[in-house]
Structures are given as structure tokens and as C-alpha cells.
Structure 1
Amino acid sequence: MESHDLRIFKHVAQLQSMSKTAEKLGYVQPNISQRLKGLEVELGVKLFIRNNRGVTLTNEGKILLNYVNQMTVLMEEAKAAINPHKWREPLTIGASQTISAVKIPQLVSAFLKTNHTVDVKIRTSEKLKLLEMLSYGELDGLFINGEYNHSQFEAVYSYFENITLISLTHDQLKKQHEQTLLVNSDPSCVYRNTLFDFWRKRNDKEPAIIEFDSLEAILQAVSEGLGISLMPADVAQNRKENTIHFQELKEKIKIEFVIKQRKQQRHSLKKFIHFLQS
């Protein structure tokens, strides 16, 4: 197996598309297909299931991807160990937009003060996509709330987050049952679902809702008086100067840092876990 072919294989596995891989790597698609075909012939197994929407990994493909990810980790660590002035240790962390708004930057900032050789990247997306990225090795770890596959992932750190209702005026908070709920469009968003639970405990009818794709859009909508929303208390506190009113709730949200259950972990991830746990 050639490292070049394995690099192409990893990109196709992550993007689930030969055409997108060709575009990203600057190749023509037949070249990508030929390389993968040669790899499948060499190994004697099918690595991908091809369909109209792209490709998905076979069980054998998933096994190979796990080994490729381990080899990638070792090569990156070797470069960083040999020449730390040129190569930094990569660490890619995932989180939803709302979870990553305040707490995660604070943690990363504190971590980097004593770990200058680590190159941290934050990836934000929907929960299911983030779990898929963690599974495929695109993420080293993920800050998450709620259910996940405990046979595939494990939590190594957790914290509890205070949450608060926010509105433009105090009167809106007093008359919550009359307000439109401003929520993230991601159905798995913990703040969206917590707000719905809060509403249903106090009201019989279904609420009017407006969905947004970003935290900043929700905050702007609250500032325009379109309705009420629910945020981490830290986010609301940072917006106090914008005259947004808030009401902290008794409920707390548990956030866990989850990693893939595997033997091979890059040194930067071990450092970050040690930082979190200490």
C-alpha cells in the first residue's frame, strides 16, 4: 500500500464523494477511482459501497480507515518531535455552535498557555455530523450533551452549564406563554430541546417558533424583540451591555468531552485530557 493511495482513501472516506475528493486534491475523478480500485485489488476486498449519492465505507473500509488514522497520528507526531519549530502538534475539537460560544474558547485559551506547541482547531456542526466526524477520525474529541454510542465513544471529562432565558424586555419573560420561541434549527440542539421542555411544563398548547442557523442570529432576533430564547448563562452575561434581559433557571446542562475508544491517541489529545481532568 502506498501512502499516497491511503491519503486519497482517507479523503474519500471523510467526504463520502470521489468528485469532492478530486476537487479538493486537484485531481480528475477517474484518477481517484483508479487509485481506489487498485487499492481494493491489492487488498482483495471492497472498501466502498458506491451509490447515486456518493460512497460509504464497507466494514473492511472502516477497519482500514482506523489504521490509516493511527498512521496519520504517528506521522504527525514524528514531524513535531523531530522539528517542533516547523511542525506543531495538531488537535481538532468539535462542538455545537452554542456549546462552543464561551466555555470552549476559555478552556482552549487556558490550555494553550502551557502547551505552546499544540495547534488547536475547533469544528462546529450538528451533533450527528460531529459524532460521524469523531468516528471517522476527523475530530480528536467532541464536547457534547445527551446520548451517544457508549460502545464506540467514552467520556473523559464533564462539566455543568448554567442556562438562562433571554429576551429584549423583562415583560417578555413575565409573559413567557405569549412569546415566540427563538431556537437553533438543529433538532438535536440541547438548548432548543431544553427550551421546548421548559415551555411544555408550563403550557398546554404548542408554541410558535422561529428557527435560526446560528447563535448570533438568535441573539440578534432577541435584540429585535422577536421572542425569547435559552442560552448558556455565560453567553447571556456577555450580552448584558446590550440591554438583553435574562432569567437564570434552576436546571443545568451536562456537557461531556467525548473521545473515540481506541488504543492510539495523539500526544496533543493526551495533554488536553490531562489538562481537563486536572
Structure 2
Amino acid sequence: MESHDLWIFKHVAELQSVSRAAEKLGYVQPNVSQRIKSLEDELGVRLFMRNNRGVTLTEEGNVLLDYTNQIIQLMDEAKSLINPQKWRESLKLGASQTISAVKIPQLFSSFLREHKNIDVKVRTHDKQKLQEMLSYGELDGVFVNGAYNCSQFEIVYSYFEKIVLISPENSQFEKQHDQTLIVNSDPNCIYRNKTLHFSKENKFRDPAIMEFDSLESILQAVHDGLGISIIPADVAKSRKEIQLIQCKELSEAIKIDFIIKQRKQQPQSLTKFIRFLQFDNTWNGLYFPFDEASN
């Protein structure tokens, strides 16, 4: 097996499509298909099941993807150790748009002061997509709230986030039941669900619901008097537009977990990041056992 063939295989597996992988890599589709066929012939097994929507990994394909991620990871680490000026370590993390709005930049600001040779990339998406990307090796770790696939992932760190109810400047908190609920369009968004739960708990009378795809749109909607919403307290403190919005801190807090994929070998950059989380007292979180013996 050649490393370049594994690189192509990894792209097809992650994108679940030969054509999309070819487009991303800048190759013609027949060449990608031939590389995959050569791998399958060499190994004597099928790596993908073809369907109308693209391809999905077979059981053998999943095994190869796991080893492929390890091989590529070790190659990248070797290059960064041999020539750190040319080859920098990388750390790819994911979080929802709201979680990544304030906390994550604050965290990396501190982390990168200690680890200047690590390039950090943060992908924002909905919870389901982030777990899928973590599973395929596109991400090294993800910040999530709530249930996750415990057979594949493990929690290595958690923190609690205070939340606030925001409302238009001239509205009265005791009359919030007359307000429209401004929420994220993602049905799994924890802040959306907290807003809906708040309305139910406070006996709102069939409140109207207005959905937006971005945190900035939600803030602007509340600012313009369209309704109320629940957001992280840190977001409220960091936005200038919040000065013209009323904020009321709620008694409960949201638990945010940092999860990683269960595997024998973790990237060195991820190990450094987890160690940073667990020993940085300014982050005020809870850490879980993490075996560094194999790292």
C-alpha cells in the first residue's frame, strides 16, 4: 500500500463519494476509482459499498480507515519533529457556532501562547455532523452538549457554562409570555431547547417561534425587538449590541463536554491540548481520566 493511495481512500471515506473526493483532490474521477480498486485488489476485500447516494465503508473499510488515520498522523508528526519550521503540527477541533463564539477563542488564546508550533482549525457545525466528522477522523476532538456515541467517543474534559435570557430593551421580564421565541434552526441546539423549555416552564400561551441559522442573526433579532432567546452568558458579555438588550442570568448552567475518538494512538497535538485543559486552572473545568501511556 502506498501512502498516497491511503490519502485518496481517506478522502473517499470521509466524503462518502468518489466524485466529491476527486473534485476536492483535483483529480479526474476514473483515477480515484482506479486507486480504490487497486487497494481492494491488493487487500482482497471490498472497502466500500456502492449506492445511489455515493459509497459507505464496509467493516473492512472501517478497519483500514482507522489505520489510515494513524499512519497519516504518524507521518505528519514525524515531519513536524524533523523540520518544525517547515512542517507544523495541526489540531482540528469542532464546536457548534454558539459554543465556539467566545469560550473557544479564549481557550486557544491561552493554549497557543504555550504551543506556538501548532496550527489550530475550528469547524462549526451541528452536533450530529460534528460527531460524524470526528468518527471519520476529520476532527481530533469536539465540544458538545448532551448525549453522544459512547461506543466510539469518550469525554476527557467538561466545563459548565452559565446562560442568560435576553430580551428587547423596553420589554418587561415578568411579561415574557407575550414574546416570540428566537431560536437556532438546528433542532438539537441546546440553547434552542433551553429557550423552548423556558417558555413551557413559564406557561407561555402558544408562543410564536422564529428560527435563524446564526448566532449573530439571533442577537440582531432580539436587538430589533422581535423576541427573546437564551444564550451563553459569556456571549452576552462580549457583544457590543447586547448593551441595548436586557439580560437576566438564569440559575441553571449547561455542561459542555470535550469528546475524542477512542483509539490506541492520539495525535501529539491533541494530547498536548488535553493536558492543557486538565492543568489550566483558569479554565475551571472537570477532567476525566486520559491514558497518555500510548502517546
Question: TM class by shorter-chain length?
Answer: over 0.9
Map Cα deviations across residues 178-221 of structure 1 (whole Å, 9 max, x no partner): 11111111111110111111111111644211111111111111
CA gap of 1:141–1:177, structure 2 versus 1, over 3 A, is same
Identical aligned pairs, as a percentage? 68
- Would the aligned equivalents of 2:102 and 2:238 in 1 still touch at CA under 8 Å? no
Cα separation, 2, equivalents of 1:140 and 1:40: 27
Map Cα deviations across residues 55-110 of structure 1 (whole Å, 9 max, x no partner): 11111111100000001110010010000111111000100000001011101110
- Would the aligned equivalents of 1:182 and 1:218 in 2 still touch at CA under 8 Å? yes
Look up the match of 1:272: 273
Look up the match of 2:11: 11
Whether 1:100 aligns to 2:100 is yes
Cα offset for 1:239? 2.6
> Runs of 4+ in structure 1 displaced over 3 angstroms?
none
Cα separation, 1, equivalents of 2:204 and 2:162: 26
Look up the match of 1:169: 169
CA gap of 1:66–1:206, structure 2 versus 1, over 3 A, is farther
Whether 1:255 aligns to 2:227 is no
Cα separation, 1, equivalents of 2:258 and 2:41: 39
- Would the aligned equivalents of 1:154 and 1:259 in 2 still touch at CA under 8 Å? yes
Cα separation, 2, equivalents of 1:170 and 1:273: 44
Look up the match of 2:189: 189
SS of the aligned residue for 2:114 comes to: coil
SS of the aligned residue for 1:113 comes to: helix
Gaps of 5+ in 2: 280-295
Compute the TM-score of the two structures, normalised by the length of structure 2: 0.91
For residues 65-214 of structure 1, the aligned pairs below 5 Å read 65-203=65-203, 205-214=205-214
Cα separation, 2, equivalents of 1:259 and 1:4: 26
Whichever residue aligns with residue 198 of structure 1, its letter is F
Cα separation, 2, equivalents of 1:59 and 1:202: 49
CA gap of 1:40–1:205, structure 2 versus 1, over 3 A, is farther
SS of the aligned residue for 1:19 comes to: helix
- Would the aligned equivalents of 1:168 and 1:244 in 2 still touch at CA under 8 Å? yes
